[in-house]
């Protein structure tokens, strides 16, 4: 057997130790402070904000999780996926059917009865969410397995098609989904603890994965597939990992959304839903976690603020009828402007880190991929 790898001579070992980045001493403390602030804010908000404001905060939390899951696939791994609405639909319907009390189910399914096995089921929220996420991930495996083996942009087309097929299937299997009538009276479990817990957990998982050796492999695939493969990175395996994890998170997010809105129907999961999340990712910066968090907030608030433009307007001398879909036009224009003039988005691939905030960041970061 020949030598396996160079034994770093003594000098190298010490040098490599010297290069290791000193993590900012204040980092963990500041993180704890931020989390405590968030916790006390949520605690305070529950009693002081009106339901409308709470609802927007909930949407922000859910959209952060959804945006991060799409950024994992599109921004970090460079696989252009357009199927998030489909994954969310799978998660939303699965979670809803599993957590809805039997009595409410009976009221919903007055045209065509619900299939027997689901009629009596009533699971706790968390279990329903996780099963929704798992089914969504399974769908991810079914689409990913054939498509992720191909090079190029087939994934965009395939996931877009999948998303539409899911919606049509949901419209048609009335004995499971209640078809176009949708489902009403979904238990409103989603509160700020759940939605922001979802956002925070997704943030931690995605950011840790991205900053691990696996994340580096994702980025290598994004940069150059041929070189990544030549360096021993299995393309299919890693794309599949990012894709199914993204699909899982999207499915869970769908479940949260269903429980927040308390009604779902197939039309909710049109391409415009994917588009909104894509807007968050592009606006924030493909490949920036911080950017996604900021953009999720902006887009969610903007969507509410712009509600006005779709309502009829009375300007005193002339009254304009409401233009439904006007918000989409504005969002589309925004996306075009970002892509044309500001391609990096808000953050590009940069991140906000404590080192950066405090100005103590090492010049040679160990894993500072996003610097």
Q: Which residues bind another protein (CB under 8 A)?
A: 2-6, 8-9, 12-13, 15-17, 19-20, 205, 208-209, 212-214, 216-217, 219-220, 223-224, 226-235, 241, 349, 362-369, 371
What is d(CA 273, CA 26) in angstroms, rounded to the nearest whole number? 39
Output 99 or 245, the one with its CB closest to another protein. Answer: 245
Output 330 or 369, the one with its CB closest to another protein. Answer: 369
Backbone angles phi, psi at 111, to 5 degrees: -85, -60
CB of 35 to another protein, least distance (A): 18
Output 100 or 199, the one with its CB closest to another protein. Answer: 199
What is d(CA 210, CA 208) in angstroms, rounded to the nearest whole number? 5
CB of 297 to another protein, least distance (A): 25
CB of 237 to another protein, least distance (A): 9
Output 105 or 219, the one with its CB closest to another protein. Answer: 219
CB of 288 to another protein, least distance (A): 13
Do the bridges between strand 313-314 and strand 263-264 make them parallel or antiparallel, or are there none, so unpaired? unpaired
CB of 65 to another protein, least distance (A): 16
Output 17 or 314, the one with its CB closest to another protein. Answer: 17
Lookup result for tokens 């090492």:
362
Output 310 or 362, the one with its CB closest to another protein. Answer: 362
* Interacting residues of 340 by C-beta distance below 8 A, sequence separation 6+: none
CB of 222 to another protein, least distance (A): 8
Output 51 or 232, the one with its CB closest to another protein. Answer: 232
Helix and strand numbers, DSSP H then E, in the chain: 18, 4
* Residue 361: burial class (beta carbons within 10 Å; 0-12, 13-18, 19+): middle
Determine the angle formed by the axes of helices 213-223 and 192-210, rounding to 10 degrees.
Answer: 70
Task: Please name which of 66, 343, 74, 364 lies closest in space to residue 218, comparing C-alpha atoms.
Answer: 74
| CA distances for 123 relative to 94, 99, 128, 141, 170, angstroms | 11, 5, 6, 25, 21
Output 51 or 152, the one with its CB closest to another protein. Answer: 152
CB of 233 to another protein, least distance (A): 6
CB of 3 to another protein, least distance (A): 5
DSSP character at residue 190:
-
* Residue 199: burial class (beta carbons within 10 Å; 0-12, 13-18, 19+): buried
* Contact criterion met (CB below 8 Å) for 72 and 208: no
* Residue 200: burial class (beta carbons within 10 Å; 0-12, 13-18, 19+): middle
Task: Please name which of 296, 290, 294, 283 lies closest in space to residue 336, comparing C-alpha atoms.
Answer: 283
């Amino acid at each position: 057997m020949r030598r396996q790898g160079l034994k770093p001579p003594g000098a190298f070992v010490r040098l490599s130790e010297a290069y290791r980045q000193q993590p900012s001493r204040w980092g963990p403390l500041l993180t704890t402070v931020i989390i405590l602030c968030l916790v006390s804010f949520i605690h305070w908000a529950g009693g002081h904000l009106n339901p409308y404001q709470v609802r927007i905060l909930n949407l922000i939390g859910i959209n952060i999780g959804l945006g991060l899951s799409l950024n994992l696939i599109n921004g970090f791994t460079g696989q252009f996926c357009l199927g998030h609405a489909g994954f969310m639909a799978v998660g939303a319907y699965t979670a809803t059917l599993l957590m809805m009390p039997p009595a409410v189910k009976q009221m919903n399914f007055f045209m065509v009865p619900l299939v027997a096995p689901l009629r009596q089921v009533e699971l706790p929220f968390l279990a329903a969410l996780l099963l929704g996420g798992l089914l969504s991930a399974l769908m991810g495996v079914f689409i990913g397995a054939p498509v992720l083996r191909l090079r190029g942009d087939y994934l965009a087309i395939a996931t877009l098609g999948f998303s539409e097929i899911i919606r049509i299937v949901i419209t048609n299997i009335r004995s499971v989904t209640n078809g176009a009538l949708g489902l009403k009276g979904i238990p409103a479990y989603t509160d700020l603890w759940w939605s922001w817990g979802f956002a925070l957990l997704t943030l931690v998982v995605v950011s840790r994965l991205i900053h691990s050796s696996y994340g580096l492999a994702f980025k290598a695939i994004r940069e150059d597939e041929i070189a990544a493969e030549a360096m021993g990175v299995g393309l299919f395996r890693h794309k599949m990992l990012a894709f199914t994890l993204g699909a899982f998170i999207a499915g869970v997010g769908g479940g949260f959304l269903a429980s927040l809105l308390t009604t779902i129907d197939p039309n909710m999961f049109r391409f415009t839903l994917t588009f909104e999340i894509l807007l968050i990712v592009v606006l924030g910066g493909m490949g920036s976690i911080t950017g996604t968090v900021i953009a999720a907030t902006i887009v969610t608030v903007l969507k509410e603020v712009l509600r006005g433009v779709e309502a009829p307007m009375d300007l005193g001398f002339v009254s304009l009828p409401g233009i439904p879909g006007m918000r989409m036009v504005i969002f589309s224009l925004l996306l075009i402007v970002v892509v044309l003039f500001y391609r990096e988005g808000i953050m590009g691939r940069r991140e906000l880190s404590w080192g950066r905030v405090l100005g103590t960041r090492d010049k040679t970061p160990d894993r500072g991929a996003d610097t």
